[in-house]
Amino acid sequence: MANTDIDIKIIAEFLGKKAFKQADTAATKLNKTVKSLGSSFGLAFGGAALGYAIKSTIKDFADAQRETVNLTNTVKNLGLAFDAPQLTAYVDQIGRLYGVTGDQAVPAMQALLSVTGSVSKSTEIMNTALDLAASRSANVADVAQDLANAYVGNTKGLNQYRLGLTKAELSSKTFQEIMEIIGKQTLGAADEAANSLSGQLAILSEVTNQAKERIGGGLFEALGGVAGKDGAGGAAQSIENLSIKLTNAITGFGYLVREIKIAQPILVAAGIAIGLAWAPWFTAIGVAALAIGAIGNAMKKNQPQIAVNTGKLFFPGSGDGGYKEREAARKKAEQEAIARNKQLAKLVKDQAKSAADAVKQKRLQNAIDKANLALGKGEDVFDIDKIQIAAALTNQAQLLGKATSAAQQMQIANDVARLNVKKSILDLEDAIAAKDEKAIIAATAKLNADLKVLGALTGQNAALVSIESILAGLKPKELIDQDNLDKALAKITEMLRMLGMANTASKAKIPTSASLGSGIPVGDYIAPISKDIAAKGSIDAILEYADAASARANAFADLLDMDTAAKTQALQSSSLWDTSGALQSFRQKESASMGNTIIVNTGIGDPNAIAEAIDDVLRQAQQRGTLVAV
Amino acid sequence: MHLCKGYKTKRRSQAMPVELAGVDELRKALKQYAPDLDKQLKKDLVLATSGVVKDARGFVPASAPLSNWGKGNGIFPTYSASLIRNVIRLSTARSRVNKNGFASSVRIVNANAAGAIYETAGRKNPQGRPQGKMREVVIPTRRLDTGVGEHRYMTSTGKNYGKSNNPNAGKQFVDAANATGQLVNSKPRVAGQRGHVSRKFTGRLIYRAWAQDNGKTQDAVVRAIMKTNDLFVKKTSGIATAGVRKAA
């Protein structure tokens, strides 16, 4: 049944249009956004939000300061305290260029510094880590940690970055080779990622955070002044007090607007001013804030500065600005790192060697266990009495070919096999004593083979034929077997004789018509033309030649027929020819008296068809004259 | 207890359809909680629409308006009076939502292709589809006996044009259909109405029957649904309070 749109809709229901739904969804989202924005806006201008913002800003500053202190301490402990500013600048720089946050960069640099002991090496690896992290969408800190691990030989963490290398390849390559591979695959990825929208947003976020941290630092100092001698606790209390006061001020302002009519003209005037010069209003506020800040900074200059890091720092001891000392310290740190890495490499090598030794020992133990198992089997079947008997029969084994009965052969074979087993056991014991793995394996295999032979000989169902084959293997081969040699010579003689006959036959003259007495002279024939001549001749000439050859052949055939007819006539006119018919009568009678019986072998089939076939054969024979009468 | 807010559409001549909100939910609730009421509602709806369905089936000609239409050679739907009659029926399956956001849950359908053609033939083009825009089609051929050749014929282009070689085919088809049943608009222009009058409610079978019904069936259907709704609300002891309601 086809589905058509021909219908009468009696009851309809509005289920909503897709466009309406989309509009509803959009409006709902917009409402939520506006609501959220409104609440944020309200919060932003509320005293509590202001207090929270100040606290948050100061907290960011504190976090950043803690990170900086950690990094500085790491560098300082490595004896590279003079590189701390350079390192901090580097961390800030990658934040501005690539959006790497401080809480990512600082742990990463700490990890790298710890293993390399060199700022330049660490920054070099960090640059590669930035590219790798950008190309694989990974966290920079994690990537740097994995690279730091790889620097000391632990390449396990690099598997997740899909470098196209197997675990074995990663572990077999040096760190420099791995860095080259990573560089080849990811060079420039960080720059490209930074140019993308998300990268730009990350950079913007990081720059904002840095600004926030700086503002937080300023606020901290400012509030420190407000807090006085109570320190941070006093600052927190000051922030709360400030926010409460601001809230009260806003509430009072609202009350003023609502209750006191005087405030309304002020508000109207302020509204007009805002409406006329919205941007200048903000500018004025900004200028005022800057002026206040400038006054604060001027006052701050008169106060003694407190260093953030109060630990042991570098102070140049010579007139060249401490260049030599710094270079010496750098060199020392790098050498210490190299020495540590060498020790680490040696440790890894020793571990690998010990692991290989353990494997070798285990393999040897396995071989010995197998050998012991085979020895156990061998001793099960070994009997010293039988060996003694076999030893007494060793000489008889040499006369094995002269054994007259199968029982004797079997007995000799058993004894020889047992002796072989004993010999293999002794060989295996020697190999085990020498701890020669290959020899143990070979001797075990030999023993197993001998045991198999012995098993075949001692088995109840052992066939005599297989025993004979075993005996043939045990029997020493004669260098020259006279019987075989005689037989071979006889065959060669026969072959030579047949070859001689064939050669004589090949040299015999081919009988010709003249030699056969046909009367055709020797050499009287038209030689067949060669292919080359035929190819050069015309078609007519070839046809003429063919006609001539045919005519000549016919003439000779006629001549031969005439010769035959003449000889037949001569025979019939001779006394040898019997025209009485006695001979033919005799033959017929003889055949009839003997009663010829023809046995026809047929398959299973239709009797009528067989009978018809027989009849057909007989009829054809009669027609040919080979059968006179049936 | 239901929220009856009256008809949304004005009661023009057989204005259709009536908008009832919540019918779909009512049907689901009935199937889940009161299957007996659901069955009863179906019976009531069948009974309410039986008059229109019966009339529409009666308008189906016993034989094809054009004799060859009933012979079934080609891809054109074959006319079969019995098949067309069988598929003119009540449908309670919800239709697709149209471009205005409406779906129908009670419909009288003419679901046969040949029936739909008979229903609407001449509705858009009372004189049949025009036969214009002819073009020559040339198909290259190759035969073993005569060699390379071509096959040429004239045809018209586009779905809005007749493709028959007979230029009067469309008119003859519509005339033959009109000879067995007249096109009737079940939603004609009322006095004072301005603007375009839709031809979508014009037909020879179900629309004709619907026009003759004068809205009685529609009222019966609404009554059946409202009655079922009341029964359901009563059966659920007032738990279901937001049943079927006529849209405002």
Of the pLDDT bands very low, low, confident and very high (cuts 50, 70, 90), residue A352 is confident
* C-alpha distance from A25 to closest chain B C-alpha (Å): 16
User: Average pLDDT, stretch A498-527?
Assistant: 61
- Cβ contact, residue pair B206, A6, below 8 Å: yes
Q: Report the residue of A6, A18, A24 to disrupt the B interface, i.e. the one with the largest count of B CBs within 10 Å.
A: A6
pLDDT at B209 over 90: yes
Q: Domain-by-domain residue ranges, chain B?
A: 20-118+171-246
Lowest mean per-residue pLDDT among A20-29, A144-153, A228-237, A242-251: A228-237
User: Does residue A212 sit within a domain?
Assistant: yes
CATH assignment of the domain containing A427:
1.20.120
Task: Note the pLDDT tens digit of each residue in B8-43.
Answer: 444 444 445 677 777 877 888 888 888 888 999 999
Q: Are the beta carbons of B102 and A15 closer than 8 angstroms? A: yes
A4 CB neighbours in chain B (<8 A) are: 109-113, 115-116
Of A203, A229, A251, the last residue of a domain is A251
- Cβ contact, residue pair A10, B221, below 8 Å: yes
pLDDT at A388 over 90: no
Report which of residues A388 and A9 the model is more confident about.
Answer: A9
- Cβ contact, residue pair B109, A6, below 8 Å: yes
d(CA A193, CA A78): 33
User: Average pLDDT, stretch A617-621?
Assistant: 83
pLDDT at position B85 is 95
Q: Is the bond preceding residue B17 a cis peptide, omega within 30 degrees?
A: yes
Same domain, A52 and A126: yes
Judge whether B118 is closer than 8 Å to chain A, CB to CB. Answer: no
Of A236, A251, A266, the last residue of a domain is A251
The values of phi and psi at residue A436, to 5°, are: -95, 110
pLDDT at A553 over 80: no
Q: Are the beta carbons of B44 and B219 closer than 8 angstroms? A: no
Task: Please tell me which of the candidates B19, B24, B119 has its beta carbon nearest to residue A6.
Answer: B119
pLDDT at position B179 is 94
Judge whether B106 is closer than 8 Å to chain A, CB to CB. Answer: yes
Task: Please tell me which of the candidates A1, A9, A13 has its beta carbon nearest to residue B24.
Answer: A13
Same domain, A99 and A175: yes
Task: Note the pLDDT tens digit of each residue in A95-116.
Answer: 777 777 777 888 888 888 878 8
Lowest mean per-residue pLDDT among A149-153, A232-236, B58-62, B161-165: A232-236
Which residue in B has a C-alpha nearest to residue A19's C-alpha?
B101
pLDDT at B184 over 90: yes
d(CA B108, CA B97): 17
B214 CB neighbours in chain A (<8 A) are: none
Q: Are the beta carbons of B202 and B123 closer than 8 angstroms? A: yes
Q: ipTM > 0.85? A: no
The total domain count for chain A is 4
User: Does residue A29 sit within a domain?
Assistant: no
User: Does residue A309 sit within a domain?
Assistant: no
- Cβ contact, residue pair B218, A10, below 8 Å: yes
Q: HSE, CB side, 13 Å, CA atoms: give it for residue A301.
A: 5
* C-alpha distance from B134 to closest chain A C-alpha (Å): 30
pLDDT at position A295 is 75
Report which of residues A196 and A177 the model is more confident about.
Answer: A177
pLDDT at position B212 is 92
pLDDT at position B84 is 95
Q: Are the beta carbons of A80 and A114 closer than 8 angstroms? A: no
pLDDT at position A41 is 41
A17 CB neighbours in chain B (<8 A) are: 97, 99-101
Same domain, A426 and A405: yes
pLDDT at B65 over 90: yes
User: Average pLDDT, stretch A319-347?
Assistant: 75
Task: Note the pLDDT tens digit of each residue in A181-217.
Answer: 888 888 777 777 776 656 666 666 676 676 666 666 6
pLDDT at position A594 is 53
pLDDT at position A595 is 55
- Cβ contact, residue pair B112, A7, below 8 Å: no
Which residue in A has a C-alpha nearest to residue B52's C-alpha?
A8
Report which of residues A412 and A181 the model is more confident about.
Answer: A181
Same domain, A386 and A405: yes
pLDDT at position A309 is 41
Judge whether A1 is closer than 8 Å to chain B, CB to CB. Answer: yes
The partner residues of A7 in beta bridges, in order of sequence, read B109
User: Average pLDDT, stretch A493-503?
Assistant: 80
**A23: its two tokens:** 């509009």
A15 CB neighbours in chain B (<8 A) are: 24, 97, 101-103
Same domain, A245 and A167: yes
pLDDT at A46 over 60: no
Report which of residues B74 and A45 the model is more confident about.
Answer: B74
Report which of residues A556 and A9 the model is more confident about.
Answer: A9
Q: Are the beta carbons of A428 and A375 closer than 8 angstroms? A: yes
DSSP output for B112-161: -HHHHHHHHTTSS-TT------EEEEEEEEEETTTEEEEEEEEEE-STTS
- Cβ contact, residue pair B20, A3, below 8 Å: no
pLDDT at B5 over 90: no
pLDDT at position A397 is 58
Cβ pairs bridging A and B (under 8 Å): 110
B120 CB neighbours in chain A (<8 A) are: 6
Report which of residues B176 and A373 the model is more confident about.
Answer: B176
Same domain, A181 and A146: yes
pLDDT at A613 over 60: yes
Q: Report the residue of B41, B104, B222 to disrupt the A interface, i.e. the one with the largest count of A CBs within 10 Å.
A: B104
User: Does residue A154 sit within a domain?
Assistant: yes
Same domain, A590 and A563: no
Same domain, A550 and A613: no
d(CA B244, CA B30): 12
Judge whether A21 is closer than 8 Å to chain B, CB to CB. Answer: no
Same domain, A187 and A119: yes
DSSP, collapsed to helix, strand or coil, labels residue A152 as coil
User: Does residue A350 sit within a domain?
Assistant: no
Which residue in A has a C-alpha nearest to residue B23's C-alpha?
A13
User: Does residue A57 sit within a domain?
Assistant: yes
pLDDT at position B6 is 38
- Cβ contact, residue pair A6, B102, below 8 Å: no
Mean pLDDT computed over every residue of chain A: 70
Same domain, A547 and A430: no
Of the pLDDT bands very low, low, confident and very high (cuts 50, 70, 90), residue A593 is low
User: Average pLDDT, stretch A469-484?
Assistant: 59
Q: Report the residue of A8, A17, A22 to disrupt the B interface, i.e. the one with the largest count of B CBs within 10 Å.
A: A8
pLDDT at position A390 is 56
Task: Note the pLDDT tens digit of each residue in A255-271.
Answer: 665 665 555 666 667 76
pLDDT at A227 over 60: no
Task: Note the pLDDT tens digit of each residue in A282-298.
Answer: 556 666 766 776 776 67
pTM: 0.33
Task: Please tell me which of the candidates A5, A9, A14 has its beta carbon nearest to residue B247.
Answer: A14
Judge whether B23 is closer than 8 Å to chain A, CB to CB. Answer: yes
Interface of B with A in 140-179 (CB under 8 A): none
Report which of residues B219 and A16 the model is more confident about.
Answer: B219
Which secondary structure element, helix H or strand E, spans residue A11, and what is its range?
strand A7-14
Lowest mean per-residue pLDDT among A195-204, A349-358, B28-37, B73-82: A195-204
Of A251, A286, A306, the last residue of a domain is A251
Judge whether B22 is closer than 8 Å to chain A, CB to CB. Answer: yes
Task: Note the pLDDT tens digit of each residue in B144-174.
Answer: 787 788 888 877 677 778 877 788 889 999 9
- CA of A230: how far to CAs of A11, A58, A306, in Å? 78, 17, 17
Lowest mean per-residue pLDDT among A403-407, A621-625, B52-56, B195-199: A403-407
Task: Please tell me which of the candidates B103, B105, B210 has its beta carbon nearest to residue A8.
Answer: B210
Q: Are the beta carbons of B187 and B215 closer than 8 angstroms? A: no
Which residue in A has a C-alpha nearest to residue B215's C-alpha?
A10
Which residue in A has a C-alpha nearest to residue B224's C-alpha?
A11
d(CA A105, CA A87): 10
User: Does residue A526 sit within a domain?
Assistant: no
Task: Please tell me which of the candidates B18, B100, B207 has its beta carbon nearest to residue A11.
Answer: B18
Q: What are the b/e assignments for A472-502, b being 16+ CB within 10 Å?
A: eeeeeeeeeeeeeeeeeeeeeeeeeeeeeee
Report which of residues A257 and A564 the model is more confident about.
Answer: A564
- Cβ contact, residue pair B22, A10, below 8 Å: no
Q: Which domain holds residue A553?
A: 531-572
pLDDT at position B248 is 43
Mean pLDDT computed over every residue of chain B: 83
Judge whether B101 is closer than 8 Å to chain A, CB to CB. Answer: yes
pLDDT at position A603 is 67
- Cβ contact, residue pair A3, B111, below 8 Å: yes
Task: Please tell me which of the candidates B77, B109, B225 has its beta carbon nearest to residue A11.
Answer: B225
**A394: its two tokens:** 């060793």
d(CA B110, CA B90): 9
Same domain, A379 and A400: yes
- Cβ contact, residue pair B207, A8, below 8 Å: yes
Report which of residues A598 and A492 the model is more confident about.
Answer: A492
Same domain, A545 and A437: no
Of the pLDDT bands very low, low, confident and very high (cuts 50, 70, 90), residue A307 is very low
* C-alpha distance from A21 to closest chain B C-alpha (Å): 10
pLDDT at A477 over 60: no
Task: Please tell me which of the candidates B100, B108, B225 has its beta carbon nearest to residue A8.
Answer: B108
Report which of residues A478 and A334 the model is more confident about.
Answer: A334
User: Does residue A304 sit within a domain?
Assistant: no
pLDDT at position A463 is 45
d(CA A547, CA A336): 114
Judge whether B185 is closer than 8 Å to chain A, CB to CB. Answer: no
Of the pLDDT bands very low, low, confident and very high (cuts 50, 70, 90), residue A466 is low
